[in-house]
Structure formats: structure tokens, C-alpha cells
Amino acid sequence: MKSLLSICALCLVAMACNTSDQNGQPIRFPDGTWVDLTHDFDENTVYWPTAESFKLDTVFAGITDSGFYYTAFQYCAAEHGGTHLDAPIHFSAGKRSMEEIPLEQLIGAAVVVDVSEKALADPDYQISTADFQQWESEHGMLPEGAIVLLHTGYGRYWPDRAKYMGTAERGAAAVALLHFPGLAPEAAQWLVQERSIHAIGLDTPSIDYGQSTLFESHQILFKENIPAFENLANLEQLPPTGFWVVALPMKIKGGSGGPLRIAALVLQG
């Protein structure tokens, strides 16, 4: 897996420096299958119960006075909703905001830790250090600089809020009714102390489980400038290893989060 990280870095450097190899052949991504890990943004997009939902208003749609077709829209959305990135400043003062996150943390080799069997049986399941150690017993140590994706299986419920979040209610009172899996603080601490990852993501509304009140996993990860991807899609289409992730959020200066377009390239062979 370390060699995959090295290949990824070399390819990106080569593409940045030159578009052809020494034989004049075009440099391109290796062969593979692209998987979109992003949910659509529309009126059904899931947001935190206290956040404003996504709105898309029509500025113009149709034939102009000059006779050509034209459409334009304006949208309004909270930072933290739909498939999005949490910047470290979201829960850690003085840490990186959206525009300060290095691209090297958002593009690179990735792994999937599948805990869906446990998580689907328990909506309050917290992904443990033992889950990571079990993954490592099968696939080797989490590679340095990896993007770690956690597959809980809850992506199958999108956008049914009651099944996906535990409640379809809105407002501050609904926060206490949230039930969905997340990362245990002890496991987050293990990741920052015993491993060296670039980013982490999962297919639920939050890195911390729904019943969390202190959001400790956010605090632990963000203190180390490790960003989080939330509300991911299609993680069931990814293998445990052998793929890259490209995760490019809206570059909001000073932002604590924002919409994310994220995709994976599953390599052949």
C-alpha cells in the first residue's frame, strides 16, 4: 500500500510538470473505474436538524429577448449538510479552515474499513480501535498518509431522514433524537497517536455518533488538522484497498466546512 501512495504522488508530480513521458506518450491516470462518492444536492438533501436546508431558486430559465436559451440559478445552503467536508477549525480553534487544507490531504491512496454488519445492527454503534486492528490483521497496517473511509452501510437509507439519522424532525429538540453510527473517541485517539492519516470520512451525518453531546472524535481529529468527510455515498462499491480518492470541497475562505465533490478511482489489477 505504501508503494501505491508513492505511485500516486509520482503520477501527480509528473502530470503537474509535463503532459508527456520521455517517449512523447500522454501521461494519464492509470486504468480503473471511477466511483462517485457524492450525493446530489437538492430539496431532499439531508442536513443537521438545526441547519437550513438546500435551496435552489431560478434566476432565469428559457429563451432570452435575443433569442437564445439561457438558465441561471442561485442556491443557499449551510456549510454542514449533504456530502461535505468538515475543516479542522470547525471544532478546534486556530486550526485549518477550508482554504488552508493542503491538497495532499484531499487527494491520494485510500482504504475502506467496513463495519456495516455491526453498524446496521446497532444505530448507536461506535467504530472501535478493535475494528481497525481487525482490518489491519487482514490487509496490513493502515498506510502512512492514507485517506480512511468508514463504511457503516447507512448510505443505503439516503435521503430517508428517519432511517438515516434516526429522526425526520427538525429544530433543536430533534438533536436529542439522532441515532446513527460514528467513530468512537478512543479509536480517534488511537488513529492520531498510533497511525498517521491524511483524512477520514464516512457515510453518516457526523464523525461522532448521533447521541454524542461533546463531539469528542471531532475534537481529537481536528486538533491534529485531520479533516473529515461526511454523508458519503456508494462506499459499498469500493474495495478495502487499491483505490485513490479525489476530494475537492468548495474553497470557502475562513470556512468551517462546505459542499464536497468526492470520487474514487478503483485501480485495475
Q: How far apart are CA 168 and CA 49, in angstroms?
A: 8
pLDDT at 44 over 80: yes
Tell which residue, 127, 44, 33, 124, has the closest CA to residue 83: 44
Lookup result for grid cell 459499498: 236
pLDDT band with cut points at 50, 70 and 90 for residue 268: confident
**What's residue 8's pLDDT?**
52
**What's residue 185's pLDDT?**
98
Q: What is the mean pLDDT of residues 19-24?
A: 70
pLDDT at 4 over 80: no
Q: Which fold has domain 32-51+79-267?
A: Glucose Oxidase; domain 1 (3.50.30)
In this structure, of 10-19, 46-55, 151-160, 179-188, the range with the lowest mean pLDDT score is 10-19
Q: How far apart are CA 48 and CA 187, in angstroms?
A: 24
Q: Which DSSP string do the residues of 161-210 spell out, in sequence order?
A: HHHHHS----SGGGGGG----EE-HHHHHHHHHH--EEEEEESSS-SS-T
Tell which residue, 54, 79, 51, has the closest CA to residue 259: 79
**What's residue 20's pLDDT?**
67
**What's residue 22's pLDDT?**
73
**What's residue 31's pLDDT?**
87
- Render pLDDT for 111-145 as a digit per residue (tens, 0 to 9): 999 999 999 999 999 999 999 999 999 999 999 99
| Cβ neighbours of residue 177 closer than 8 Å, sequence gap 6 or more | 166, 167, 169
| Alpha-helix residue ranges (DSSP H) falling in the chain | 2-17, 116-121, 129-139, 161-165, 185-194, 216-223
pLDDT at 40 over 70: yes
Q: What CA–CA distances, in Å, run from 232 to 120, 123, 246?
A: 16, 17, 13
**Domain limits of the chain?**
32-51+79-267
pLDDT at 231 over 90: yes
Q: How far is residue 212 CA from its own chain's centroid?
A: 19
Q: Which residues on adjacent β-strands are paired with residue 75? A: 56
Q: Is 82 left (phi over 0), alpha (psi -120 to 50) or beta?
A: left
**What's residue 6's pLDDT?**
47
On whether the CB atoms of residues 167 and 178 are closer than 8 A, the answer is yes
Q: How far is residue 254 CA from its own chain's centroid?
A: 19
**What's residue 245's pLDDT?**
98
In this structure, of 5-9, 30-34, 143-147, 173-177, the range with the lowest mean pLDDT score is 5-9
Entry pTM:
0.90
